[in-house]
Structure 1
Amino acid sequence: MEDSKEKSSKLAKFLVVFFPFLVGFTKHQTGFVLGWSAILPKMQADNSTSFDVSDEDVKWLLSVTGIAGMAGTLVTGPIIETFGPTRVIVWIQLPSIILWLVSAYTPYLSLLYLGRIGLSLILIITGPLIPLLISELSDPTIRGSMLASEEIMVSFGLLVMYVMAQELYWSTAVAVGAVTTTVVFVLCFFLPESPFWLARNGQYERAKTSLLSVRFSQEKATEEMKTLIASVEATKQSTVLDQIRQLKHCRNYRPVLLLVAIYVLRELGGEYTIFNYTVYMFEKAKVNIDPFMCTVLVGATRTIASIASAILVDRLGRRPLLIGTSLLCAAASLLCGVFLLLDLPEASWVPLVALLVYVASYGFGLGPIPWGLTGEMIPTPVRSIGGSICIFWYSLSVFAMSYMFPEMIALMGLGPTFLSFSVFLVALSIIIFCCFPETKSRTLNDLEVAFKRKSKRQKEVFNISSNIEESVQGDTGCETSHF
Structure 2
Amino acid sequence: MIGSVVACAILVRLGQRTALLICLPLNLVSWIVLATSSAVLTLHSARLVQGITTGLGGSAAYTLVTEVAFSRYRGRLCSIVDMLRSIGIFFVLGVGALMSWRSLAIFSGVLSTVLPFFGLLFIPNSPRWLASKRRYQEAEDALRFYRGPAFDITPEMSDIRTVVRRNKKDSLKTQLGHLREWQSLKRFLVLSFLSFGFQFTGHSIVITFTVPIFMETKSGIDPYMSGVLLGVTRVVGAVFYLLTADCCGRKLMFMFHSLICSLALTCISVYFYVKFEIQDEELASKMSVLPLISLLTLSFSICSALPNMLQHQRELMPLSFRAAGINILGVLFLGGVVLVIQGFPLMVDTLQLYGSFACFAGIMFLFAFYPMALMPETRKKSLEEIEMAMSKPKASLSE
- TM-score of the aligned structures, taking structure 2 as reference length: 0.90
Deviation at 1:418, TM superposition (A): 1.5
1:151–1:368 CA contact under 8 A, matched in 2: yes
In structure 2, relative to structure 1, the CA distance for the partners of 1:201 and 1:86 (3 Å cut) is: same
Task: Tell me how far apart the structure 2 counterparts of residues 288 and 85 of structure 1 sit (CA, whole Å).
Answer: 48
Alignment check: 8 A CA contact 2:211 2:227 kept: yes
Match of 1:241, as an amino acid?
K
The structural deviation recorded for 1:154 is 1.6
1:137 aligns with 2:56: no
Any idea what the Cα deviations from partners look like across 1:310-368, whole Å, max 9, x if unmatched? 111111121111111111111111111110222224422211110111111111x2121
* Residues 330 and 423 in structure 1, CA contact (< 8 A), matched pair in contact too: yes
Distance in 1, Cα, partners of 2:126 & 2:218: 49
Q: Residues 258 and 221 (structure 1 numbering): CA distance in 2 closer, same or farther, change over 3 Å? A: farther
1:409-420 matches, cutoff 5 A: 409-420=348-359
Q: Which residue of 2 aligns with 1:324?
A: 256
Partner of 2:395: 476
Matches within 5 A, 1:234-273: 234-273=166-205
> Equivalent pairs: percent with the same residue?
22
- When residues 419 and 377 of structure 1 are mapped into structure 2, their CA distance, relative to the original with a 3 A threshold, is same
**1:95-115: per-residue Cα shift (whole Å, max 9, x none)?**
111222333344244444333
SS of 2:57 mapped into structure 1: helix
* Corresponding position of 1:400: 339
Shift in Å at residue 374 of structure 1?
Answer: 3.3
Q: 1:318 to 1:162 in 2, by over 3 A?
A: same
Corresponding letter in the other structure for 2:123: L
Instruction: Indicate the residue corresponding to 1:162 in structure 2.
Output: 93
Q: Between 76-85 and 288-297, report the one with greater CA deviation.
A: 288-297
Question: How far apart, CA to CA, are the structure 2 residues paired with 1:109 and 1:278?
Answer: 28
* Partner residue, 2:330: 391
Give the structure 2 partner of residue 114 of structure 1: 45
Q: TM-score, normalised by structure 1?
A: 0.75
**Distance (Å, rounded) in 1 between the aligned partners of 2:365 and 2:232:** 26
SS in 2 for 1:441: coil
CA separation in 2, counterparts of 1:310 and 1:237? Answer: 36
Task: Give the aligned partner of residue 225 of structure 2.
Answer: 293
Which residue of structure 2 lines up, in the alignment, with residue 311 of structure 1?
243
Amino acid at match of 1:205: Q
Distance 1:413 1:174 in 2: 37
Structure 2: how far apart are the matches of 1:155 and 1:114? 27
What is residue 391 of structure 2 aligned with on the other side? 452
Q: Indicate whether 1:196 and 2:128 are aligned.
A: yes
Q: Is the 8 A contact 2:23 2:56 kept in 1?
A: no
- Counterparts of 1:321 and 1:411 in 2: how far apart (Å)? 34
Residue 356 of structure 1 corresponds to: 296
> For residue 103 of structure 2, what is the amino acid of its counterpart?
T
1:168-193, Cα deviation, whole Å (9 max, x unpaired): 33333333211212222222222220
| Aligned residue-pair number | 388
C-alpha separation in 2, matches of 1:274 and 1:122:
26
1:376 and 1:444 in contact (8 A); partners too: yes
SS at match of 1:324: helix
Q: Which amino acid aligns with 2:18?
A: R
Query: Would the alpha carbon gap of residues 205 and 264 (structure 1) be closer, same or farther in structure 2, given more than 3 Å must change?
Result: same
